Amino acid sequence: MDQNTIDEGKTMGIIAYITFIGTIIAFVMNNDKKNAFASFHIRQMLGIILIGIALNIILRFLPLGSLGFYIGLLPLVLMVMGAIGASQGKLSKVPVLGDQFEEWFKTIG
């Protein structure tokens, strides 16, 4: 990926990590431009959203106490890591599931 594509997609990539609303805004902004860098980060954030939903469902039924709180912070940590990566122009995948997210959401972008 060339530097021009990265520079053009940085803003949309960062916006994608600002909650679900930011992901929608970045998706709409990228819909016309089809920037590969922004698309990558939108796909990664969609995966983080899925992780958050799954953890929320699981943690509602498991009485884990304080451990559940810390596990519940995982999506937030991944969002911050992704936003930092996007601001630095890096294609940093979500640990463990990043490749899977790219496959699942390959039509986005």
pTM of the predicted model as reported, rounded to 2 decimal places: 0.91
Distances (CA, A) of 108 to 16, 65, 88: 13, 37, 22
Residue in 6, 5, 25, 7 with CA at minimum distance from that of residue 15? 25
d(CA 18, CA 22): 5
Model pLDDT for residues 78-108, shown as the tens digit of each residue: 999 999 999 999 999 999 999 999 999 998 8
The per-residue pLDDT of the chain, averaged, comes to: 93
pLDDT more than 70, % of the chain: 99
d(CA 101, CA 35): 18
**DSSP annotation of 18:** S
**Where in the chain are the domains?**
3-104
Residue where the block lists tokens 């960062």? 14
Model pLDDT for residues 24-69, shown as the tens digit of each residue: 999 999 998 899 999 999 999 999 999 999 999 999 998 888 898 8
Residue 109 has pLDDT above 80, yes or no: no
What pLDDT is stored for residue 64 in this prediction? Answer: 87
